[in-house]
């Protein structure tokens, strides 16, 4: 599964890469915030991960409707048990 993380910071990458060692998802990171213009960056990805400062409004969501799954860290972005990320 290929996942694009929007609005990524170095500390996000470090923590999610540690967690991903158990899952081996194809994760890529961008510092770009998700919005109506940047949603195009998600083309070719199976899922995206957004953070609180991203702009996941109705227009951005409509443009990304073809994406099979959109998730956020609050809902367990990697669907990983927290114990796996410690």
Can you give the residue range of the structural domain that contains 43?
2-85
Q: With b meaning 16 or more CB within 10 Å and e meaning fewer, what string describes 59-82?
A: ebeebbeebeebeeeeeebbeeee
Q: Look up the CATH number of the domain holding residue 73.
A: 3.40.50.720
Rounded CA gap, 52 and 1, in Å? 23
Per the structure, the count of domains in the chain is 1
The pTM of this model reads 0.72
Average pLDDT across the chain, whole number: 77
Q: Which of 56, 79, 76, 75 is nearest to 67 (CA)?
A: 56
pLDDT digits (tens, 9 = 90+) for 16-49: 999 899 899 999 999 999 988 898 898 888 888 8
Edge-to-edge strands, sheet with 2-5: 26-29, 2-5, 47-49, 69-71
């Amino acid at each position: 599964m290929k996942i694009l993380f929007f609005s990524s910071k170095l500390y996000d990458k470090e923590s999610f890469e540690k967690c991903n060692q158990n899952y081996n998802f194809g994760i890529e990171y961008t510092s770009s915030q998700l919005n109506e213009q940047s949603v195009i960056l998600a083309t070719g990805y199976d899922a995206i991960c957004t953070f609180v400062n991203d702009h996941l409004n109705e227009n951005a969501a409509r443009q990304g409707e073809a994406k099979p799954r959109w998730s956020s860290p609050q809902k367990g972005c990697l669907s990983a048990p927290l114990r796996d990320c410690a």
